Structures are given as C-alpha cells and as structure tokens.
Amino acid sequence: MPFELTPSESEAVTKMKTRLSGFETEEGRLAGLSYVPNAQDIIITTSPKAGTTWLQQICHQLRAGKDGDMTFEEISEVVPFMELAFDQGQDLSAKQFGDAAGLPRCFKTHAWEPHCPKGAKYIVVVREPKDVALSFYRFFEGWFFGPGEVPMDAFVEQFWLARGVPESRMQNAGFYDHFLSWYRRRQDRDVLFLFFEDLKENLQREVEKIAHFMSDSTSHNFTDAATIKGAVDRSSFAFMSEHKGHFDEKLSKLARNEACGLAPDAGLAFSKIRDGKSGDGKKALSSELKSLIDQRWQTQMLPATGFDSYDALRAACASECM
C-alpha cells in the first residue's frame, strides 16, 4: 500500500507508516481486488480489527460440517486475504476446501464497498470504534513497532483517525468510511450485516444467521444442529485461544516482514486471539482520544445514519431484524 503521510505527524508514526508501505505490492493488491467471484462465494469484509479472523473461522467451520476442519496452519490458508494473497504466493482462483463438493469459496478483505469485487455474497462485521482503535494498536505493537515506540494517542490520531476516503484502490478506507459504505447496503439480500458485540453476547444465534445466509441460494444446507454446534464450539474464545497458532497472521508475516524492513520473525510471538472482551477501549484510551472518536461519530456518522452513537445504531439495527 502507498505511504500515507499525515501533516504534523510524529517521527515514530512516520517510521511505522514507512514500514507498512512495504506490506503489499501494487501488483498483488490490485490482483486481489480484481478477482471475479461467483454468486456463491462468501466475502468477509471488515475494517481491520473488527472481527475478520473470527468470521473466517466461523465460515470455514460451517462449510466443513459437523466434524469441522483444523488441518490448516493458519486460517488465511483456507480463507484467503484477497489483497495479500498474490504476495503470499496464493492463487485466488485455486481450489478451496470442499470445491469438489461445490461448497462455497470464502475470502476476507478490508475493502470498502466501492472497491470490493462484485458478484459475491458479503458478510460485514462492524465493532465499537474505541475497541477497534485499541485492538489495532495492540495488533501493530510488537510487529510494526516495538512496545512503547509509538504512543497510543499518536497512533490513533495520526494513523487510524487520519484515514478517510481512499484516493485509489491502493488505500484502505478509514473505519467510518468503510462502515458507512456497507451500512447503506445492510438490507440487501446479498449482504449480512453483523455486530461484533452480538457475536460476543450470543454466538449461537449469530452463527445460525451466518449459516442461513451461507445456505441461501445454494444446494447446500449448513443449518443442521450438528453443523451449527460444531461451528459454535470451534469458534468459541476458549477453542480459538487453545489453537491460537492457527490465527497468528504467520502467512503475511513470513511473506512480507523483510519487504517492510522488519526482522523475518517480527510479530510471530503474537496471536490475534487476545482477551476476548468488549468495552476495553473505553477503559484504556485517554479522555482526549475518546473525545476525538466521539466527535468523529457526530460529524460523520450522525448525519449519514441519524444515530448519535454506535450503541444507538446497533440497537436500531436489532429492531430492524425483529
């Protein structure tokens, strides 16, 4: 991805962005976003750190049936990351798990709606913005920068909040822009719009929703009790923590660390599976950061949605589904 320079940013943030600019090649990213899916393909699309890995595991376990599948080394082997697949030596057109039986192919992306490959079925996951900001910081710490090298306030204000509408397909949309681009399509038949917090509160119910969505317009039915139970069990926090080595981003780290100017083993000691909690952002972020995040909601999300907070929007969406 290109170097994202923000005026008056700190030297530490500039250094982090310089490293990040080597994470994807232009050829690789554009190849992924140019993939032509079929109507049964499932594309999981989220802003970073909003539940992508969790949905990769849920979708894969549903299509694997009651016995499940944990034979992969890392989840993106079986549910490829579209923007990074080429640079990791993966062919998005290659056979996936269950291809011979006509099972749906599954992918993940961080693309906002205008840049996402068209013609598939889309599972969108959103998450409370303060929790996303905190999780993103923790994800990069120990990988793209050392502990304490980049202050959290600088990371959130000069990197996470600084992102907005992409200037090209080489850039990711900001959190709010990604959110709104898919929120507008939340009631379309080919879109399933989910909330991270709902998955935390009632995993069984949300897995059932995903199973029905994956089964719709296909010859396969993923809604039987045994398949649902297997997927719920294998996507629980306890199970994924026990198998955290399958969810540690090792494919991208091993493939791209040196291109980013990082040590070959940078970040390999850390998994994406952390403490499994919601609400930590409100506790860990400074009052200044929380105020900036709330202000962005008021200036960007309130006019577009009519809701003055994430919680209010989530409650309204729950009412729509009743």
**Mean per-residue pLDDT, 132-155:** 95
Judged against a pLDDT cut of 80, whether residue 272 lies above it is answered with no
pLDDT for 209-234, tens place per residue? 999 999 987 778 999 999 999 999 99
**Among 11, 73, 50, residue whose Cα is nearest residue 278:** 50
DSSP state of 103: P
pLDDT tops 80 at residue 246: yes
- How far apart CA 168 and CA 24 sit, in angstroms, is 14
Which residues are within 8 A (CB) of 322 and not within 5 positions of it... i.e. 6 or more apart?
none
Q: What is the mean pLDDT of residues 132-140?
A: 96
pTM: 0.95
- The Cα–Cα gap between 5 and 213 comes to 40
What is the pLDDT at residue 7? Answer: 61
Q: Angle at CA 217, nearest 5°, toward 216 and 222?
A: 40
| pLDDT for position 223 | 96
Predicted confidence band of residue 6 (pLDDT cuts 50, 70, 90): low
Average predicted confidence (pLDDT) for the chain? 94
Tell me, what's the pLDDT at 275?
67
The proportion of the chain whose per-residue pLDDT surpasses 90, expressed as a percent, equals 89
Does the pLDDT at position 4 exceed 80?
no
Q: What are the distances in angstroms from CA 8 to CA 3, 43, 157, 293?
A: 15, 37, 11, 19
Q: What is the mean pLDDT of residues 70-84?
A: 97
Question: Model confidence over 21-32: pLDDT tens digits?
Answer: 999 999 999 999
pLDDT tens-digit profile of 183-200?
999 999 999 999 999 999
Rounded-to-10 torsion of CA 105, 110, 112, 115? -70
pLDDT above 60 (res 3): no
Judged by average pLDDT, the poorest of 6-10, 18-22, 255-259 is 6-10
